[in-house]
Amino acid sequence: MPGKDAAVKGRNMEGAIARWYAKNTASNIEGFRAEAAVLAARLPAGAAVLEVAPGPGYLAIELAKRGNFRVAAVDYSHTFIAICRNNAKAAGVEIDFRQGDAAHLPFADGQFDFLICRAAFKNFGDPVGALREMHRVLKHGGSALIEDLRKNATSAEIAQEVSGMNMGWLMALTTRWILRSLRKRAYTRADFTQMIAQTSFVTGGIQSTGIGFAITLRR
């Protein structure tokens, strides 16, 4: 059963709710493929990549298909990790999926060239701790990309964003409601600036993209 935990805000994504999320986000597989193609074009051959909070693992799997990359991913949900491993096996790709807390990543220092965290940062119980861990596991010169919902995204902007997704009317209605609810725990540009300042990241850029932010960080 989902339950509260200091590592996450809200309820853990376990069991039926995680499986429901995996089934419904699969409808946006073309979006994951498009993002993976963009990321793959920027990465050098053999790059070590970490996705933090991959959910069902669609982006990590699509990225693993697109180059000679060493891909790993960590999620707090045991159910998601099981789904990730099954999806990767079905796709014929090898990915190091591990269960763990974003604020206590289960990897040694300086392991990765690139790190991505998509649509999950607002859910971390210790966001500054998560940023510090991202910095720790990156190699010198490595970079991180955080994509997440803006706190000041309007309901009209959310509706417009959802209208461009490939989903039925019921799922679209549910997605709009979920995004409006999650907006309460999302961050402002000032919030991100203040949190990044508490870490050792050298540079950071915060760009508005649709209803979210794309935060780029370099170690």
Q: Which two tokens stand for residue 29?
A: 């597989």
Q: Which two tokens stand for residue 85?
A: 């491993």
Question: Does some domain include residue 157?
Answer: no
Q: Are 123 and 10 in contact (CB under 8 A)?
A: yes
Question: Does some domain include residue 27?
Answer: yes
SS3 of 124-181: the string is ECCHHHHHHHHHHHEEEEEEEEEEEEECCCCHHHHHHHHHCCCCCHHHHHHHHHHHHH
Residue 154 confidence (pLDDT): 82
Question: Does some domain include residue 176?
Answer: no
Question: Does some domain include residue 182?
Answer: no
The whole domain housing 62 covers 15-151+187-218
Backbone angles phi, psi at 130, to 5 degrees: -65, -40
Question: Does some domain include residue 5?
Answer: no
Per-residue tens of pLDDT for the chain, all 219 residues:
334 567 887 677 899 989 988 988 888 899 999 999 999 999 999 999 999 999 999 999 999 999 899 999 999 999 999 999 999 999 999 999 999 999 999 999 999 999 999 999 999 999 999 999 999 999 999 999 999 999 988 888 787 877 777 666 676 777 777 778 788 899 999 999 999 999 999 877 999 988 999 999 999
Backbone angles phi, psi at 113, to 5 degrees: -85, -30
Q: What are the C-alpha distances in Å from 205 to residues 138, 153, 213?
A: 17, 19, 10
Q: Are 180 and 158 in contact (CB under 8 A)?
A: yes
Task: Give, rounded to a whole angstrom, the gap between the first and last alpha carbons of the chain.
Answer: 38
Residue 1 confidence (pLDDT): 33
**Edge-first strand listing for the sheet containing 212-218:** 96-99, 70-75, 48-52, 112-118, 138-149, 212-218, 203-209
Residue 57: give its domain's CATH number.
Answer: 3.40.50.150
Spatial CA neighbour of 106 closest among 117, 115, 97:
97
Question: Does some domain include residue 166?
Answer: no
Q: How distant is the alpha carbon of residue 58 from its chain centre?
A: 11
Residue 166 confidence (pLDDT): 67
Question: Does some domain include residue 10?
Answer: no
Strand runs labelled E in the chain: 48-52, 70-75, 96-99, 112-118, 138-149, 203-209, 212-218
pTM for this entry:
0.90
Residue 215 confidence (pLDDT): 97
Domain count across the chain:
1
Q: Which two tokens stand for residue 83?
A: 């789904």
